[in-house]
Amino acid sequence: MMITAAILLDAGRSFAVPVAFTAVSVLTLYVCLRKRQGIPPGPTAWPLIGNLFSMGRQSHLVLESMRKTYGDVFSVYFGSTLVVVVNGKAVEECLSTHSARYSMRPELHTAQYILEGKSFAFSHIEVSEHKRYRTLAVAVVKQLVNGGGEKTDDAVKHGLQNGTRHTSIEDRIYMEATCMCDKLLDTSDSPDLKDEILQLVTKELCRSAADMLLGNTLSEYELDEISRVVENLRNSNEAIMLVNFIPVVRMLWRNGLRKYIQLTQSLNRFFERCIRNRKAQLATVSNGHTEDNGVLLTNGVDCTVKFWQKLKNDPQYEESRVMKVVADLFGARVDTMTVALAWMIVYWATYQATQEKAQKEIDHFVKNEKRLPRYSERNQLPYTMALITEVERHCSFVPFTLPHAPVQDTMLNGYLIPKGTMMLISMRSINYDTALWDSPAQFRPERFLLDQSGGFNSALAEQVMLFGAGRRRCAGEALGRMQIFLYSVLILRKCTFRRSDKDSHVLPESLAGISLIPQTMCVSISRREADGSKNTEP
């Protein structure tokens, strides 16, 4: 919590009086909250800061240890904000059995005032409104994943069924992954490549997301600028948590908050410019007509514009929020994929035997088929799928869902959860549940292989939680799963990773945020001599 300390120390003595007044006010509120009957148990919290200083830089592990003391449902305080942490069987209650009860987002300062409450993923909006925009997001993603060659119910419903492609999305992903591999192979000989790898992966994913979702080809200058903004926003997570939960920090950390707002505004202007450019291109192609004119739906903006043309006269929809759906998908794609690929590389380098086994399986497929596998053929690479799935389970690089909140006062495991209470639902607790997994702390891809046939156990793999569940399940899941598989196949086909540090058999610690980031990436990257990929077409 170095950022926490810095913010509080920078305030100086001039803020002593307002801080003291705030502390007394918060203490009074805190005592009142604790007197409410029936709220889940939890550790004693400090006035003003609550339990924030106890979280450290691995808050997911701290909360995991608290579970052993207080049970599957317990409470902590982030500042003066009550937070209920949900684990184990109670997760199913919240996300599946009674998901409608817990389908709101809590009110957070950054989501409501900095993001202007327009993000369907983060903002505190009515459940019915979220459902409308999430349905749109799922339809857009399905249209992209299916490429236009296959009609889907959601795509038909929203008028997206006529899309066709010159190049399938899988071919585009393979081309993007090839460019990324070339950049990975050009990394330096530094003992720790974390910053270098995260920067280049973020940049390449921004490039591809701008093309796939926004329909824009970025110049190198634009790409450098937008990837820098994305990285700086990612690195601001810890300080922004304080802004959300300790109101006085908004006054003490004015310069930092101003910079964060500027970064967010810069990102929003980028989205608006890309969407405006693509809409102008569509208007030119269609000669200004807004009816169904057979324009190719080659990216997320195309699909979303098509949707808006169908419903622009419906007062339930706002164009700014409709187009914000694409921006949310952009952010989710870049952040999730960056972290996923970083951890895949770390695990492949640490567990060499699993990497080599997957590479041999991919080589065998390519030798027989004379091409790279399609996503629909993933079960023909059972060990590769098992390796990817075990990394997702063992690492659990998204340990919690985005915060949930109950739509009304409700009871969970015998405890009162007041309406609007922030809830952290632990997906990691499911991925490490001893009732589901034998020796969950052990990294063992073979657990996802069927005993008799050696095929991929897709039923067991569905138990791994990465994209959430229920009404708030990640709208971009279909695209995310496809990308993780295709990127992994291409990278394993072209590259080999080895650990370059002394602790080569020990995984690095992770740094907490919405997603976990490896603290170090001490790896070396080499080109596979016999990959034969130069002569392989997707």
Question: Cα separation of 309 and 17, whole Å?
Answer: 56
Contact 102, 94 (CB under 8 A): yes
- Is 474 among the annotated ligand-binding positions? yes
The burial of 232, by beta-carbon neighbours within 10 Å (0-12 exposed, 13-18 middle, 19 or more buried), is given as: middle
d(CA 146, CA 459): 23
> What is the distance between the alpha carbons of residues 162 and 46, in angstroms, rounded to a whole number?
58
Residue 179, token pair as written in the block: 């460019």
User: What's the rounded Cα separation, in Å, for the pair 99 and 459?
Assistant: 22
Nearest to 7 by CA among 194, 219, 254: 254
CA distance 531 to 529: 6
The DSSP-derived string for 111-165 is: IIIISTT--TTTS---HHHHHHHHHHHHHHHHHHHHTTTS--HHHHHTT-TT---
The alpha helices in 286-421, defined as continuous H runs, are 300-311, 319-350, 352-369, 382-395
Rg (CA), the chain: 24
Q: Give the strand order in the sheet containing 422-425.
A: 73-78, 81-86, 422-425
Cα(91)–Cα(56) distance, rounded to whole angstroms?
24
CB under 8 Å to 260, separation ≥6 — which residues? 114, 233, 236, 239, 240, 243
Q: What is the DSSP string of 420-442?
A: T-EEEEBHHHHHT-TTTSSSTTS
Distant-in-sequence, close-in-space partners of 218: CB < 8 Å, separation ≥ 6: 206, 207, 210, 226
Rounded to 10°, the helix 382-395/352-369 angle is 150
Could you please report the per-residue DSSP string of 77-100? Answer: EETTEEEEEE-THHHHIIIIITGG
Which residues sit in the known binding site for heme?
474
Which residues sit in the known binding site?
474
